[in-house]
Chains A and B, each alone.
Chain A
Amino acid sequence: MTIYIAIDDTDSVDIGATGQSANALRKIIKDKGWGECQPVTRHQLLLHPDIPYTSHNSSMCFVLEHSPVDVQDLIRCAAEFLENTSAPGSDPGLCVAVSTQIKDVERLIAFGIKAKKEIVSKQEAYQTAEYCGIHLSEHGGTGLGIIGALAGVALRMTGNDGRFQGKMQLKESGEPMAIGEVIENTEIDEVQSIEGQTLRPDDIIIIGDKIKTVLLDGKRKLLVYRKNNAWHTCTNKHLQAY
């Protein structure tokens, strides 16, 4: 059983970060013996003056696979977590989707893509979730976080959206590393140039200050760029579009 879990709008300008909340929830799930969750991905949604986001309008999603958990227990646990830990004034939303029970994946994904391009309403989010057979709930404030939570699940399911949370430690900045070594020793599935070229195991990259990965083609990919006849890991600036 594969379960997608997404949360949104748990922070305020002064307190909290939804990425940290998602990681804390992953830890609770692990501690309860429900399984090890896959890493969190961050999904950027539409920036628009009519959307009351805190500061960046992004949501966070992670996946729990092969878990013995009763889904209702998981939902209760996540709901309690959001209610107890979200920042005052935030508008948290929770989405939990069991992949085999989603009745219309295309409609769900269309909702996620729409939330990146257009303003969508809570009503539309609830209608989509109900039609698709997905749990969606609000846990404080206006509850507008349900829109991002549902979009987060949808965009994670595309396998082609967002950055993975956190940064990876490979080697010291400036050191060379073979792609084969990167793949063997990390959770990175593939190393690809920003133009789309997949690097070979014997290709060498120069490690940068901060190693961030993105979700592309359903894989965790490290993106690199060419400079002075060598491959370098992408910086924050290169990854702004993700």
Chain B
Amino acid sequence: MWLAKNKDEREFTGGKTDWEAAARIAEQCSGFEPDDEDEQTADEAVSCYNCRYRRWTVKSFSCLLPT
């Protein structure tokens, strides 16, 4: 589900609307931290789309947590 952009950055390949995968990945991630409520876009509370460490990109988001 990830595309390595450089050694410090990986982009989610599911785009901005793969709600199921974003929730599944976040459920298994020990680094998930909910972002401010105003910045959350998923209805699932635990989702990469709602994580403080996701950085939105043009097509998707990058995970800022160290791999």
Contact = CB atoms under 8 A, between A and B. Distances in A.
Interface of A: 13-14, 17, 19-20, 42, 47-49, 53-58, 163, 165-167, 209-210, 235-237, 239-240
B52 A47 contact: no
25 contacts: A17-B36, A17-B38, A17-B39, A19-B36, A19-B38, A19-B39, A20-B36, A42-B38, A47-B57, A47-B58, A48-B58, A49-B57, A49-B58, A55-B52, A55-B54, A56-B55, A56-B56, A163-B38, A167-B37, A210-B43, A236-B41, A236-B42, A236-B43, A237-B17, A239-B41
Contacts of A239: 41
Interface size class of B (residues with CB under 8 A): 20 to 34
Nearest to A239: B41
Nearest to B37: A167
A169 to B, nearest CB: 13
Contacts of A237: 17, 19, 41-43
Contacts, number: 56
B64 interface: yes
B48 to A, nearest CB: 12
Contacts of A53: 55
Nearest to B5: A49
B16 interface: yes
A47 B39 CA distance: 14
